[in-house]
Structure 1
Amino acid sequence: MARSRAAHLSSAADFLQRGLDRADPPIPFLQRCEIFRRRLLAERDHLEALHHEIVRSVPHDVDPEAQVETVFNGVERFSRAVVSGGMPNAASTAKLAAEGLILNSQTIALWDAEVDSAIAQVALTDDAAMRQAMLKIIHEARIAGIAEFRQRLLSPASGYELALTNQPSTIDHPSGSSQPEKNADNPLPFYQTALPERGVPVRGRAGAARRWTAQSGRRRRAQT
């Protein structure tokens, strides 16, 4: 036992020493953030579609809520295994199978196709290191999307608040509501909710109130 522990510590120490001179990761941090953001937007729709499919297809003698929980727990467990250890090998596949999660060639092919598409969308070099980095981001976004999905089940309004701040609006904006703003760092419009009142946006009401008060004061002084 002591010899095994010493070997493990030596291996970790060797890794840390090599890490001091390691090259940069395949995808820089800011680009990873943007890829993650876009993947999370897609995952919201994918998980919503999955939820509807489960509810429609659940047998009459099975509790739909329990089935939804089982499926989403399994998807999350698969993604956590990928984030932690990369594309599952024989050992990790056997470990997942022991938990009742059977990984087949069709699932592996689907994950590979997701990586292919994600790399092509951002025109990155398709090599082993890049594929591993992209695979990790995809499944990180899936885990985050599942966490959001669970939150929406508890508080449905939370999902629509996220939509207002992360996706372009598909409805007409009322007069006086805030308009989308774009910049190079955030290509998608950012919407702030506004409840217009007589054409005055929410963020302008405080200033309008101060102007109204000042004008009223001037009128009173003029009358005296």
Structure 2
Amino acid sequence: MLIHDRILLFDFETTGLYADRDQIIEIGAIVLERVDGKYKITDEMSALVMADRPLPLKITEITKITDEMLLRDGLSQEEAFHQFFKMYQDDRTLLVAYNIQFDLSFLTQFFKKFWDRNFQITNDILDVMAVYKDRHPYPHRLDQAVETYQVDVPNTHRALDDIKATLEALKKMSLEKDNIEKYINVIGYNHKYGVSGVRLPHVKYIAQKGGRREIEYS
């Protein structure tokens, strides 16, 4: 499916949509490493992360994460960063997420705050939503991919469950058509709204309408 020896699949739950002013409140991550020619899960992370302000009611409705949960079980933002950084390891790791544009913006702010204020992502990236969107018409949320590919892991809007669902959907997309390498360092965006958040110089941005295979045929 891919040539990378190490893959980090990750998902952030956050207090809102804007990485410059909102915060990560949960991290789910899985590391895959190539062992004897096959990918195996070698590490996993599931952590709640404390916020510096009460959660918006809408976020609690969506994620079922409460202020009480964060106060009781949440890591500090810095502790969470260091745990996640160990999984990230270095810029040779392929970064994978569903709607990765959202997560990359938060990852960049996270690394700038706790590691290097000049940090810029240079890793190869893979947006699983871009693969799904290339092959299927609207809608394109993760729960649609879970339903389409009959993924056994539920899409709960909790970080670790969502990244496990993303991994299983990606496996089934690869079995459906083994051309996932076409989507490395490509992010599809809604042609009506353009690209929001961080832009990476090594990434190609392509407008997608859904089911048109704009990336596959580019």
Q: TM-score range by the shorter chain?
A: under 0.3
Greater fraction strand: 2
Higher relative contact order (CA 8 A, sep 6+): 2
Tell me the TM-score normalized by structure 1: 0.25
Tell me the TM-score normalized by structure 2: 0.25
